[in-house]
Structure 1
Amino acid sequence: MFNKMIVAIDGSEQSLRAAENAIVLAEKSDAHVYVVYVIDRSISKTEVMQTWDFLGITEKKRKMFKRVEKAAENGRISYEVKFIRGEPAVAIINFAEEMDADLIVIGSRGLSQFQQLVLGSVSHKVVKKATCPVLIVK
């Protein structure tokens, strides 16, 4: 079914549900999962200044990764955690292409139609521009 999957996480409940779904799919298809966290350049500068953490990863985010890693280990799947920089949608798409991914799994942020019109959403941009299938988890 799938050989290489990308799951993008940002700490939101939707992204954590996306990770859980990706793990279930990986268990069934024996796929390798890349758990991707995008460090948005505009946000990471602020986080680095506030936390002196060179990756901009706060304790809350470390706990999020531990939760995902524990689920992956319990599911006995092959996985890697990757930190990438850039505008989130573009970075996710580029990483998926580099890894020759079969599937991108991403959470929906649940923006209203007005918010999506004005702001757009990462999941919407990924769906529009990705060259592989995309699963959006609500």
Structure 2
Amino acid sequence: MYQHIVLAADGSANALRAAKEAVKIARLSANTVVNIVYVASFDNARAEHLHSASSESLLLERRRKVATVEQLLKEHHISYKVTILKGEPAPKIIQYANDNQVDLVIIGSRGLNGLQEMVLGSVSHKVMKRVNCPALIVK
């Protein structure tokens, strides 16, 4: 089954729904590791740096955004790790998944309608089109 799952998380309700699906899949194999990937986008990173007292508080704030997902994985005894990346979310998730021999990427959908997705391009849509492994988008 899937040994290495990347779960993209940003602190949203969609990310939590994606985490619940990750739990279902990860429970199928005792050897599965879920890697929670949080990407601090350039726009958010600038604001976070201005408002943080130190680099430690900045890291704690970013970890807080994935704390609910971490708690869910802990409750279900799922092995996991957290990776925090900086940059644009879609390209960073794609690069991470393609560079680390990931078996499955799970990501929440923003729920955009077709026109908005075509014009703007959602993170989940970009990830799904460009990763070299299966991808699951959770609504």
TM-score (norm 2): 0.88
- State percent identity of aligned pairs: 42
The letter for the 2-side match of 1:51 is S
Task: Look up the match of 2:86.
Answer: 85
Equivalent residue for 1:12? 12
Q: Is the 8 A contact 1:39 1:56 kept in 2?
A: no
Question: Deviations along 1:59-102, whole A, 9 cap, x unmatched?
Answer: 5x544422211211111111001101111111111111222100
Structure 1 pair 58/110, CA: closer, same or farther in 2 (3 Å)?
farther
Q: Structure 1 unaligned segments of length 5 or more: list them.
A: none
Letter in 1 for 2:88: E
Count how many residue pairs are aligned between Structure 1 and Structure 2: 137
Measure, in 2, the Cα distance between the counterparts of 1:111 and 1:58: 30
What RMSD, in angstroms, separates the aligned Cα atoms of the two structures?
A: 1.9
What residue number does 1:107 align with?
A: 108
- Deviating runs (4+, > 3 A) in structure 1? 51-59, 61-64
The reply on whether 1:29 has 2:29 as its aligned counterpart is yes
Q: d(CA) in 2 for partners of 1:28 and 1:113?
A: 33
Preserved contact between residue 47 and residue 53 of structure 1 (Cα < 8 Å)? no
| Secondary structure at the counterpart of residue 110 of structure 2 | coil
Q: In the TM superposition, what is the alpha-carbon distance from 1:56 to its structure 2 partner? A: 4.5
Q: Which amino acid in the other structure matches residue 19 of structure 2? A: A
TM-score when normalising by structure 1: 0.89
User: Which residue does the alignment assign to 2:66?
Assistant: 65
